[in-house]
A and B are shown apart, each in its own frame.
Chain A
Amino acid sequence: MTSATLAGLVGAALVGLGLYGVIADPQLLRKILAFNLIGSGVFLVFGIVARKGAAAGLSADPVPQAMVITGIVVAFAASAIAVALTLRLSEETGATTLPPDALARPPGEGADAE
């Protein structure tokens, strides 16, 4: 067992853990955290792939590394939007979870005149 394989296994575990949090926890903030866990698990899988591609005097393949860097920045941007939506929803309704019935009589545009 190399440290790279170990990291890959941690990545797999993180994906499972995060997935559980995303599905099972109703709190939006916790879902965002769990998404970040899945994300870092996915990045670790890229990490092990990079490490196993060590060649040409490099200790890791640079291409997956660059993809992870791109991915981390995108994940941050996604967290920022999710947080902004969550905070706004909580300001408007006081809720920190999604309403169970999403279709509870949403009016169309102009329909909320009454």
Chain B
Amino acid sequence: MIDFGYGLTPSSTLKIENVANPAFEELRQREPDVAKCIACGSCTASCSAGVFTEMSLRRVILSLQRGREKETLPMLQHCMLCGKCLLVCPRGINTRHLILSIGKVYKMEEDR
């Protein structure tokens, strides 16, 4: 193999050919509210941890839906569970329980 000094790059496109997402389905079983998210961002806007970090529950939910949890699980480590998101969610999603449930379904990668 020749080293040209550059090479192929993996694509960032969310390729959803296999739409099954068992982890998300399990999460939906535990906290059905997760399906109600309309991605309005109220949770992110009010987030106590969001003042200091990149924490965005909206993004977390989306990434789980898309099977890209790796990108956002670290955000959840910053959550203080203060519950403000619970109060502002227009869809009445039980956000705290959702966050706790995510921790039970998804596993953080060890190497971080």
Are A and B interaction partners? no
Q: List residues of chain A with CB under 8 Å of any chain B CB.
A: none
